[in-house]
C-alpha cells in the first residue's frame, strides 16, 4: 500500500510540473511622457499643471506623487497664431507639491479655439486644442420647497428647475454650486453668531442623469434627451431652515473633452480595488503625451433665500 501511495504522489507531481507554463509578457514602451492638465475658461488667467508619467513597474501606491516637470517651455497660441508664453510658479511646501505654469492678463474669447504646447528636452513635444464653448444662458430658475427631510433635522428639501436653450449640435453641461448662510441668535441676553456652508450637491430627479461614481458634488450630463429651446434640468438639494442663505448655482457649458475626462477618470477611481469591475480607460486628448486640456463657460446665479421653521 505504501508503494502504491508513493507512485500516486509521484504521478501527481509529474502532472503538475507538466502543467506549468512560462509566458513572456512584452511591456509597452516605458519611456516617460509629459502629462498636462489645464482648464480653459473665458477669464484672464490660465494654469497648466505639468508632470512626468511613470511606468507600470515604478510604484502603484495610491499616494505616489508624480514628478513635476520644471523648466519646460509652455505657451498658448490664439486663433491668429500669436504665442503667449507661460511663466513657472512654485508654491510647494514640505510634503506638498504645488507648482504650475501660469498666464495672466489674456482675454480668452468664447467660440474661439486655442492650442496649448509644452516643450522640454528629453520629452516629445506635446500639444492639444480646445474651443471655449459659448455661454448657455439660464432662462429661468424655479424653486419649490418640498418640506422637512426625514432623519435630517433642521433641513428642508428643495427642488430646482433650470430652464435654458440647448444649442444645435452635441452639447455637454455641468451644474455645481455652494450654499452659504448665517444666523444671529439671542439666548438669555447672549448673542451668538452661527455660520453655514455646504456644497449644492445637486441630485437629478430624472434617474438617467444620475452618476453615483462622480468624485465631485456636481451634476454632469449631455443633451441627448433635452428639447432644444425648451430644455430644462430638474434636481434636488437640501438647505438649512431659519438661516439667511446665499445659494450659488454654476451652470456650465463644457466641452466634450471635459465631459469625457471626468466621466472616465471618476469612474476609474470609483472602481479602484474592485476586481469584478471592468477596466476603465481615462480619456486623453494630449498629442504625444498624456492628460487633458478641457474647457468650460459658466453662468453664475446667486439666489438669496430663507426658509422659516
**The pLDDT value given to residue 276:** 80
Structural contact between residues 67 and 97, judged by C-beta atoms closer than 8 angstroms? no
Residue 8 lies in a domain: no
Q: Strand pairing of 87-90 and 83-85?
A: unpaired
pLDDT in tens, the chain (309 residues): 544 455 444 444 544 444 555 455 455 556 899 999 999 999 889 999 999 997 655 555 545 567 899 999 999 999 999 999 999 999 988 888 889 999 998 889 999 999 999 999 999 999 999 999 999 999 999 999 999 998 778 899 999 999 999 999 999 999 999 999 988 877 777 888 888 899 999 999 999 999 999 999 999 999 999 999 999 999 999 999 889 999 999 999 999 999 999 999 999 999 988 888 888 999 999 999 999 999 999 999 999 999 887
Residue 288 lies in a domain: no
Question: Cβ neighbours of residue 298 under 8 Å, at least 6 residues apart?
Answer: 41, 135, 250, 251, 252, 253
**The pLDDT value given to residue 12:** 45
The whole-angstrom separation of Cα 125 and Cα 34 is: 8
The model's pTM: 0.85
Domain that holds residue 213: 138-283+296-305
Helix (H), strand (E) at residue 14? helix 2-19
Question: Which of 106, 131, 156 corresponds to the end of one domain?
Answer: 131
167 and 270 assigned to the same domain: yes
Question: Which of 87, 108, 131 corresponds to the end of one domain?
Answer: 131
The grid coordinates of residue 125 equal 513635444
Residue 17 lies in a domain: no
119 and 151 assigned to the same domain: no
184 and 94 assigned to the same domain: no
144 and 119 assigned to the same domain: no
82 and 158 assigned to the same domain: no
**The pLDDT value given to residue 192:** 82
> 62: domain CATH number?
2.60.40.10
187 and 252 assigned to the same domain: yes
CA distances from 213 to 12, 228, 267 (A): 48, 28, 6
300 and 162 assigned to the same domain: yes
145 and 189 assigned to the same domain: yes
DSSP output for 240-278: ESSSEEEEEEEEEEE-HHHHHHHHHHHHHHHHTT-TTSP
Number of compact structural domains in the chain? 2
Residue 58 lies in a domain: yes
Residue 27 lies in a domain: no
Amino acid at each position: 500500500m505504501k508503494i502504491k501511495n508513493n507512485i500516486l504522489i509521484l504521478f501527481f507531481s509529474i502532472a503538475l510540473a507538466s502543467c506549468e507554463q512560462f509566458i513572456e509578457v512584452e511591456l509597452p514602451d516605458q519611456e516617460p511622457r509629459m502629462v498636462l492638465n489645464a482648464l480653459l475658461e473665458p477669464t484672464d488667467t490660465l494654469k497648466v499643471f505639468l508632470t512626468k508619467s511613470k511606468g507600470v513597474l515604478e510604484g502603484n501606491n495610491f499616494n505616489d506623487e508624480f514628478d513635476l516637470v520644471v523648466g519646460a517651455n509652455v505657451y498658448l497660441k490664439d486663433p491668429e497664431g500669436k504665442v503667449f508664453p507661460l511663466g513657472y510658479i512654485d508654491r510647494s511646501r514640505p510634503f506638498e507639491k504645488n507648482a504650475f505654469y501660469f498666464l495672466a492678463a489674456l482675454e480668452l474669447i468664447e467660440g474661439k479655439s486655442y492650442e496649448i504646447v509644452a516643450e522640454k528636452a528629453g520629452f516629445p513635444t506635446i500639444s492639444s486644442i480646445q474651443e471655449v464653448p459659448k455661454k448657455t444662458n439660464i432662462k429661468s430658475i424655479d424653486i419649490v420647497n418640498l418640506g422637512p427631510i426625514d432623519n435630517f433635522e433642521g433641513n428642508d428639501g428643495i427642488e430646482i428647475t433650470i430652464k435654458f436653450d440647448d444649442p444645435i449640435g452635441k452639447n455637454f453641461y455641468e451644474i455645481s454650486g455652494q450654499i452659504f448662510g448665517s444666523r444671529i441668535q439671542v439666548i438669555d441676553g447672549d448673542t451668538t453668531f452661527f455660520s453655514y456652508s455646504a456644497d449644492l450637491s445637486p441630485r437629478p430627479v430624472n434617474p438617467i442623469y444620475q452618476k453615483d461614481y462622480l468624485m465631485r458634488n456636481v451634476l454632469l450630463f449631455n443633451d441627448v434627451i433635452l428639447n432644444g429651446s425648451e430644455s430644462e434640468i430638474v434636481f434636488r438639494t437640501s438647505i438649512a431652515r431659519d438661516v439667511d442663505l446665499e445659494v450659488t448655482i454654476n451652470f456650465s457649458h463644457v466641452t466634450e473633452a471635459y465631459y469625457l475626462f471626468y466621466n472616465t477618470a471618476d469612474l476609474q477611481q470609483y472602481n479602484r480595488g474592485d476586481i469584478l469591475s471592468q477596466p476603465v480607460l481615462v480619456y486623453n486628448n494630449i498629442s504625444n503625451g498624456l492628460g487633458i486640456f478641457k474647457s468650460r463657460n459658466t453662468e453664475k446665479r446667486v439666489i438669496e433665500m430663507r426658509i422659516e421653521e
